[in-house]
A and B are shown apart, each in its own frame.
Chain A
Amino acid sequence: MAEIAKETAREHEAVLSLRGVSKNFGAVSALTDIDLDVHAGEVVALVGDNGAGKSTLVKVLAGVHQPTSGTITFKGKPVTLSDPSAALGLGIATVFQDLALCENLDVVANIFLGRELEPLRLDEVSMEIRAWTLLNELSARIPSVREPVASLSGGQRQTVAIARSLLLDPKVILLDEPTAALGVAQTAEVLDLIERVRDRGLGVVMISHNMEDVRAVADRIVVLRLGRNNGIFYPDASNQELVSAITGASDNSVSRRAGRRRAMQQNSEEARP
């Protein structure tokens, strides 16, 4: 009985939580008093307009930037993410928008880049097996891991980048615009991939501009506006609600445009005899 209670308590406890995190660049406050919780097995979408602070927040979580104030708690312990390797060491992996793959190297070399097995006599066989295992767990469709990454499609490269971030068994994975620049089918593949990562029990933080993608996979949608929290939504929220939270007003260019179309439709209906 106590076991179960503990189990549920652990489930509700966030893997990663931020309280009152602020980040100033000189006179500019990029982030102000941000609160964010990421649970295991949950996809949190981070949305906001350009300049809302999404990328800054991800960089703080990845250890690229250090917050000016506020606390970051990882698995119940306060931590400082002084550099990217500290974040990685704790179990926070990041896939940046420009995937940062070496196109001249093959898939195995890219997945193990910087973490090769046996530095003086590379263990290619073990690395290849591990690469296939990772890719198969993600049900990824990569034709060959011995081809240079240059020969892969955009979606496949995204897959390789995500597989690489999973190599160190992270607890939280941050995805910066994972579906930008992808076609319809490849976007669907990457969204499937994100769900499989979540089903492995990882916390996923995903930045996206595409409301459709966000609603398709996110369990919670955190809206940032001008560097502040501007509401938490669930995937059943309407587009109207999300857009007004993102732009900060119910009267915005998106709603005005929708209003114009409605008016036009009404006009044409009235014009009809």
Chain B
Amino acid sequence: MTDNAGNHASTGPLLDRADERVKHEAGVGGALRAFLDRVRSGDLGSLPVIVGLIIIWTVFQSLNPVFLSANNLVNLLFDCSTVGVIALGVVCVLMVGEIDLSVGSVSGFSSALVGVLWVNQGWPVVLAIVAALIVGALIGGLYSFLFNRFGMPSFVSTLAGLLAVLGLQLYLLGSTGSINLPYGSPLVNFGQMLVMPYWVSYALAALAGLVIFLAGYRTAMRRKEAGLSSQSLASLVLRAVVLIVILEFLAFYMNTDRGVPWMFGLFVGLVIAMHYAMTRTKWGRSLNAVGGNREAARRAGINVRRVYASAFVLCSTLAAAGGIMAAARLASASQQAGTGDVNLNAIAAAVIGGTSLFGGRGSAYSALLGIIVIQSIASGLTLLDLSSSLRYMITGAVLAIAVIVDSLARRSRVSHGRA
């Protein structure tokens, strides 16, 4: 069988390269040309965010040299993780073309719940966290029930949820208004201090490149055997080496200060797991399909209701997780937790990162990139000692620019037949 396929590959044209009307690029240079072609036709991917991030960093660094110091960046990573996890959940609901406006309230409520159960009621901390996550999942389950049974638009149901859950949070915290989490406890240490040992950060950076290379190599070999076009070994190696060099440098730079926070490690781990689930599993395919064309997905035998339910439940659960991480970061569960800009930052992060508001287009990495943009702006403006009024205005402008870039890119994709 293998022999046969090999012969086929060496004699005839490759199975997916038989149509001579289509131009195919080969090798490292070809991959680069194909990338430029894609960008020109409006398939921008993460490019606008990365360019935007470079501009933002350059501006803030020139205004205040502390901005890119290792110390500030480590703080940035701590701050990213909490809202980032919430944004990751928002990506899920945006993928199916819905929205969850209550993520901020749910995060605040879950932090309050952990505070009450753990500190006031004396539950073991793990049990309190699990309970908060389950309650988060139940809230998402309620939204999906309202959506699937009554056709209630998620915009309305989660708006109602925003108020109701905020009320629950205030009720739980009662008259005292806030609960301090004990310093020195593992949860608070995790949120404020715990960083990876140097060797772990270096090892993880190397592992990431290695896994990327091995997965790519395995796919390339299988495709070659089957008579399909495959990536060249050189481009695979190049990609892995570039990734390793970048990650090792970042790890080294963070390690000149405190190091890479475990909390950020958890966030990135969740992003990678979500990316795998969204691109390599049947569930992720269904998520994309429902977001792209609900009726087509239904006729293809996908249980559309279950897909919606999974998106809402995941979003609320991740919002609850983000809330617990935020409580750990601040060492308190307060009435202010999850209010203010948490909600909008989480949604804005997903959108700035490149997830479409209309469903069917997006990636888990958009949460990571988007939240880094937003936290960079916040951190830069804090360093410049500017008030939050400016911070809101600038974040709003960046969000508007991100959506404009997305709309323009979409128009270009349509005219290039890639929409």
Contacts and interface: CB of A to CB of B under 8 A. Distances in A.
A264 interface: no
B289 A147 contact: no
Interface string B280-299: 11110110110111011101
Given A101-B293, A125-B223, A114 B22 contact: no
A113 B281 contact: no
B40 interface: no
A124 B293 CA distance: 21
B419 interface: yes
B19 A143 contact: yes
B228 A128 contact: yes
A4 interface: no
Interface string A124-136: 1110110010001
B285 A104 contact: no
A240 interface: no
A50 interface: no
* Chain A facing B: main interface SS: loop
B65 interface: no
Interface in A73-115: 84-85, 88, 96, 98-105, 109, 113-115
Interface residues of B, number: 38
Contacts of A147: 418
B418 A121 contact: no
Contact of A104 (B286, B361, B417): B361
A122 interface: yes
A125 B222 contact: yes
Contacts of A102: 288-289, 292-293, 296-297, 360
Contacts of A120: 281-282
B219 interface: yes
A159 to B, nearest CB: 13
B15 interface: yes
A182 interface: no
A162 to B, nearest CB: 15
Interface in B266-292: 280-283, 285-286, 288-289, 291-292
Interface in B150-193: none
Contact of B19 (A99, A114, A141): A141
B21 A125 contact: no
Contact of B418 (A84, A122, A145, A151): A151
Given A143-B22, A150-B417, A105 B299 contact: no
B282 A116 contact: yes
A144 interface: yes
A126 B285 CA distance: 16
B385 interface: no
A254 to B, nearest CB: 35
A98 B299 CA distance: 11
A125 B360 contact: no
Contacts of B283: 119
A148 interface: yes
B3 interface: no
Contacts of A136: 15, 18
A94 B14 CA distance: 31
Nearest to B360: A104
Q: Which of A102, A103, A128, A129 has the most CB of B within 10 A?
A: A102
B189 to A, nearest CB: 35
Q: Which 10 A-B pairs have the closest CB atoms?
A: A114-B300, A119-B282, A104-B292, A151-B417, A100-B296, A102-B292, A113-B300, A114-B301, A104-B360, A143-B22
Interface of B: 15-16, 18-19, 21-22, 219, 222-223, 226-228, 280-283, 285-286, 288-289, 291-293, 295-297, 299-302, 360-361, 413-414, 416-419
14 contacts: A99-B296, A100-B296, A101-B296, A102-B297, A102-B360, A113-B289, A114-B301, A114-B302, A115-B300, A120-B282, A129-B228, A132-B16, A142-B19, A143-B22
